[in-house]
């Protein structure tokens, strides 16, 4: 399960909409907690260095290097990447699969249609590196829906 701060998710979605029709991208910083959940605390935007930013993304390697240096010895680390899919589904593409290099990284993908974000999903590549698997994505202020006693309707039993 992925838990992301609401303001961080908003930042990811806003970046996706602003970059349209190009792909937005960046790195996610957080940590794995004791319950095998990934907690994402911050998103760090990157210029998209891909040769065709409408169909691919490439995070600036200097961003990752700088984050690793800054986070060294602390509880947080780079735990994932995010990017957008302009006019495509919020599912990993063949290009994403070909570029997935680390099984532990979370991939957050936002689908954008006509400048409007329509869906954001989370994925992780399997240990064999052969395909992405979906992961539940929640904001860290998410709570179970309230419950009540079952409704009864006289005469309809």
Q: Please answer whether residues 140 and 3 qualify as being in contact, where contact means their C-beta atoms are separated by less than 8 angstroms.
A: yes
Kind and range of the H or E element at 30? strand 25-32
Q: In the chain, which residue ranges form alpha helices assigned H by DSSP? A: 6-19, 61-71, 94-99
Measured CA to CA, the distance from residue 119 to residue 121 in angstroms comes to 7
Catalytic residues: 23
């Amino acid at each position: 399960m992925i838990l992301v701060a609401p303001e961080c998710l908003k930042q990811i979605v806003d970046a996706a909409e602003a970059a349209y029709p190009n792909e937005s991208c960046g790195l996610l910083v957080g940590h794995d907690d004791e319950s095998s959940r990934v907690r994402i605390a911050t998103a760090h935007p990157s210029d998209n260095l891909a040769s065709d930013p409408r169909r691919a993304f490439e995070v600036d390697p200097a961003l990752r290097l700088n984050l690793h240096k800054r986070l060294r010895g602390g509880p947080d680390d780079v735990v994932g990447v995010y990017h957008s899919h302009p006019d495509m589904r919020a599912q990993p593409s063949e290009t994403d699969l070909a570029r997935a290099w680390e099984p532990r990284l979370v991939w957050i993908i936002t689908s954008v249609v006509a400048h409007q974000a329509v869906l954001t999903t989370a994925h992780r590549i399997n240990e064999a590196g052969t395909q992405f698997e979906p992961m539940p994505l929640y904001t860290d202020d998410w709570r179970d829906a309230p419950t009540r006693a079952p409704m009864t309707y006289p005469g309809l039993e």
